[in-house]
């Protein structure tokens, strides 16, 4: 059952204004949404972070590897490879099916929370303030809720390109996110998406507060509801639980995310 409101296209004047804003943002984001390279991160040291298979895993060493992966080009390349395939598939199928649609996850699919992830040293801290939002403050933790409310996550460019292609090809866009339904977080999530270039969508589906267990159950049920009216040509997510083996979508595109795991 779809429990959230349906976002419909606003009036013509608003659409025109939004279209202009969309083009400007798309241009700006092409320039600015490059993955941030860490100031001072030394990619020549990567071989020193290699694991010794004869010894137990070392979490500190793994963190070095994850930052190598993010800052030294691996994440960007792997993410782009999946995004490019998804875009090609969208453009192949968009005009071959009835009522085409795509489903996008949000976190680490459409938007990057790297600032929070890095600040929390790969830990998950649900509550508390987020010092990353206060420049000059020492490296305190960043509470997840405050981070999300700040609406400062940044567009992941390959997914933004898929979104832009969907809009250009008349394909409906649905976001299904594990972020919990609530007026404050919904408003912040919408603000964040819009600021990063995801200007219009058919529906933003957030996880109900009373939904428990794996998000896979909720997400799959929402795709099933969408599939009653649309042909979901692709579903993109960074967790297997976003995709559920591609049920109710023609194709599932799994983006890399070695930074956290949602079963």
Positions touching Mg ion (CB under 5 A) are 105, 107-109, 238
Q: Which residue is nearest to Mg ion (CB)?
A: 107
CB of 111 to Mg ion, least distance (A): 9
Nearer to Mg ion, 94 or 156 (CB): 156
Give 141-145's long-range contacts (Cβ < 8 A, gap of 24+).
142/115, 142/116, 144/116, 145/185
Nearer to Mg ion, 116 or 238 (CB): 238
CB of 91 to Mg ion, least distance (A): 24
CB of 178 to Mg ion, least distance (A): 7
Nearer to Mg ion, 22 or 79 (CB): 79
For residue 248, which phi and psi values (nearest 5 degrees)? 65, 25
CB of 255 to Mg ion, least distance (A): 8
* Helix, strand, coil content of the chain in percent (nearest 5): 45, 15, 40
CB of 128 to Mg ion, least distance (A): 21
Nearer to Mg ion, 108 or 244 (CB): 108
CB of 164 to Mg ion, least distance (A): 20
- Residue 242 and residue 105 in contact, taking contact as beta carbons nearer than 8 Å: yes
What's CA 218's distance to the chain center, in Å? Answer: 17
Name the pairing type of β-strands 231-237 and 251-254: parallel
Contacting residues for 133 by C-beta, under 8 A, at least 6 apart: 142, 146, 147, 150, 152
What CA–CA distance (Å, rounded) separates 234 from 82?
A: 12
CB of 237 to Mg ion, least distance (A): 6
Nearer to Mg ion, 125 or 153 (CB): 153
Nearer to Mg ion, 41 or 124 (CB): 124
For residue 19, which phi and psi values (nearest 5 degrees)? -65, -40
Nearer to Mg ion, 109 or 220 (CB): 109
Q: Tokens 């995004």 — which residue?
A: 83
What CA–CA distance (Å, rounded) separates 261 from 190?
A: 24
Start-to-end CA distance of the chain, whole Å, equals 22
């Amino acid at each position: 059952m779809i429990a959230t409101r349906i976002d419909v296209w606003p009036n013509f004047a608003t659409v025109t204004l939004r279209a202009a804003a969309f083009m400007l943002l798309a241009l700006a984001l092409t320039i600015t949404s490059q993955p941030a390279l860490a100031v001072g991160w030394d990619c020549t040291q990567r071989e020193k972070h290699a694991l010794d298979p004869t010894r137990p895993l070392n979490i500190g060493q793994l963190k070095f590897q994850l930052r190598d992966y993010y800052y030294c080009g691996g994440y960007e390349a792997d993410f782009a490879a999946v995004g490019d395939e998804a875009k090609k598939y969208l453009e192949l199928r968009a005009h071959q099916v009835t009522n085409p649609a795509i489903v996008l996850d949000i976190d680490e699919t459409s938007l990057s929370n790297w600032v929070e992830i890095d600040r929390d040293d790969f830990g998950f801290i649900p509550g508390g303030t987020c010092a990353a939002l206060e420049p000059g403050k020492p490296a305190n933790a960043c509470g997840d809720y405050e981070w999300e409310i700040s609406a400062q996550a940044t567009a992941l460019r390959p997914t933004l390109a898929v979104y832009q292609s969907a809009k250009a090809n008349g394909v409906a866009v649905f976001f299904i996110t594990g972020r919990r339904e609530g007026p404050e977080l919904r408003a912040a999530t919408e603000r964040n998406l819009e600021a990063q270039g995801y200007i219009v969508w058919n529906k933003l589906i957030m996880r109900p507060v009373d939904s428990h267990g794996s998000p896979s159950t909720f997400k799959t049920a929402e795709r099933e509801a969408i599939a009653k009216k649309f042909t979901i040509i692709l579903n993109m997510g960074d967790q297997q639980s976003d995709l559920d083996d591609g049920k109710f979508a023609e194709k599932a595109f799994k983006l890399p995310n070695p930074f956290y795991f949602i079963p």
